Amino acid sequence: MDLFQTMRFFVAVAQSGSFTAAAHTLDTTTTNVSKAITGLEARLQTRLINRTTRRQALTEAGVRYLQRCESILDQVREADEEAGTALTTPVGRLKIHAMSAIGNHYVIDAIARYREMHPSVMFDLALTNRLPDLLEEGYDMSIVLARDLPDSGFVAQRLGITYSILCASPHYLHKRGYPDSPQALAEHDCLRIVNTVMPVESWVFEGPDGMETVDLPLSPFHVNTADAMTVAINKGMGIGIQPIASAVAGLKAGTLVRVLPDYHFEEFNLYAIYPSRKFVDAKTRTWVEFLKDYMPVLLAADEQVAGSAGKP
């Protein structure tokens, strides 16, 4: 018999006042209870209960041990209840990873709305343009853009589709003119995002005639994040790729202009990835359900803005 179970037997005897009553409470035999207490005393080398054929009483050591055992058992019960509640009540902290543009422009918005409904859930959000090792780095979830996902054994919920567009500042276009086709980009300063998603040497567009690849001229500027690219474009440095998430605010304000509005880059899936489908706690389950409802609304609204930008 393990120590935890032996403690339960001892507490039951002390609280009920007899071995027989304890056996009834624990649904076992008086012999098992007696063996458990005898074994416990032998392990401790201390007598915990003075007993005769008619009565029993805790020793001084038994009283102290009872207090400790009751405290331990209460903490175990609380831990069990807390863990069980986690499956039904959204509470606790979620450690989330997201790609930078998606995190800045969608995930933080979603967290704010979600916490209006579930204020007991707290978030740690990390923004990096990579797919992390969820288990190794301790993330509860990663929200990423990808064409497809490798077979990792994780759960992946598809939240929607998005794509990138070309943008420039009004100042740059006034100075250098508007390209009227992908081939005309050869005469412009093309700013490049360097990451695992976008190729450096060429841009592949989807347009009225299907897929079209354009080899790029020597670029005056490379950067690895969409938000940094937004700053460069706003400074009039050239024409650059902008995820819709990064472009929308500038398009609305007039600080960005969509270039070649009939063309866009390859569509990517937006995924929420988390480790297990079994015993998913309430905070993770309700967060995923919220994202599945809320993210398509945000994506559709921004796509509408991008779709109408640059067109008469």
Contact yes or no for 264/199 (Cβ under 8 A):
no
Q: Closest Cα partner for 243 from 128, 272, 251, 235?
A: 251
Mean pLDDT of 146-153: 78
pLDDT at residue 194, rounded to an integer: 81
- pTM, rounded to two decimals: 0.69
Look at residue 230 and tell me whether its pLDDT is greater than 80: yes
In the chain, what percentage of residues exceed pLDDT 90?
43
Domain with residues 164-265, CATH architecture: 3-Layer(aba) Sandwich (3.40)
Q: Cα–Cα distance between 229 and 42 in angstroms, integer?
A: 73
**pLDDT given at position 277:** 65
pLDDT at 199 over 80: no
| CATH T-level fold of 92-162+268-308 | D-Maltodextrin-Binding Protein; domain 2 (3.40.190)
pLDDT-derived band of residue 136, with 50, 70 and 90 as boundaries?
confident
pLDDT tens per residue, range 1-33: 588 888 889 888 888 888 888 888 888 898 898
Annotate 193-209 with b (16+ C-beta within 10 A) or e (fewer). bebebbeeeebebeeee
Of residues 114 and 87, the one with the higher pLDDT is: 114
Question: Confidence band (pLDDT; 50, 70, 90) for 84?
Answer: low
- Which of these CATH numbers, 1.10.10.10, 3.40.50.1700, 2.40.37.10, 3.40.50.2300, describes 3-86? 1.10.10.10
DSSP element (H, E) containing 174: helix 170-176
The angle, 0 to 180 degrees and rounded to 10, between the axes of the packed helices 3-16 and 30-44 is 110
- CA-based radius of gyration for the chain: 32
Per-residue model confidence (pLDDT) at position 75: 81
Confidence check: pLDDT of 300 > 60? yes
Mean pLDDT of 81-106: 82
Band (216; pLDDT cuts 50, 70, 90): confident
Query: Does the structure show a pLDDT above 70 at 279?
Result: no
- Find, among 245, 219, 251, the residue nearest to 300 by Cα: 245
What does the alpha-carbon distance between residue 185 and residue 106 come to, in Å, rounded to a whole number?
Answer: 30
For the cut 80, the answer to whether the pLDDT of residue 203 exceeds it is yes
pLDDT at 117 over 70: yes
Q: Note whether 99 and 269 are within 8 A (CB).
A: no
227: which 2 tokens? 């938000």
CB 276 within 8 A of CB 155: yes
Do 185 and 176 contact (CB within 8 A), yes or no?
no
**Rounded to 10 degrees, what is the CA torsion of 101, 102, 106, 112?**
-90
Start-to-end C-alpha separation, the chain: 81
Quick: pLDDT tens for 235-255.
999 999 999 999 999 999 999
Q: Binning pLDDT at 50, 70 and 90, where does residue 184 land?
A: very high
What is the rounded CA–CA span in Å between residue 106 and residue 100? 10
Residue 92 has pLDDT above 60, yes or no: yes
For residue 312, pLDDT over 60 is answered with: no
Domain parsing of the chain, residue ranges: 3-86, 92-162+268-308, 164-265
Give the H/E segment covering residue 114: helix 108-117
- Arithmetic mean of pLDDT over the chain: 87
Residue whose entry in the numeric block shows the structure tokens 């209870």:
33
pLDDT for the residue 142: 94
What lies within 8 Å, CB to CB, of 243 at 6+ separation is 101, 102, 145, 162, 163, 164, 226
Query: With 80 as the cut, is the pLDDT of residue 80 above it?
Result: no
Q: Lowest-pLDDT range, 50-54, 63-67, 195-199?
A: 195-199
43 pLDDT higher than 70: yes
Cα–Cα–Cα angle for 50, 56, 59, rounded to 5 degrees: 40
Under DSSP, the state recorded for 269 is E
Instruction: Give phi and psi for 246, each to the nearest 5.
Output: -80, -25
Whether 217 shows a pLDDT value over 70: the answer reads yes
Task: Give yes or no on whether 3-86 and 92-162+268-308 have one common fold.
Answer: no
Read off the pLDDT band of 40 (50, 70, 90): confident
Residue 297, phi then psi, degrees to nearest 5? -65, -45
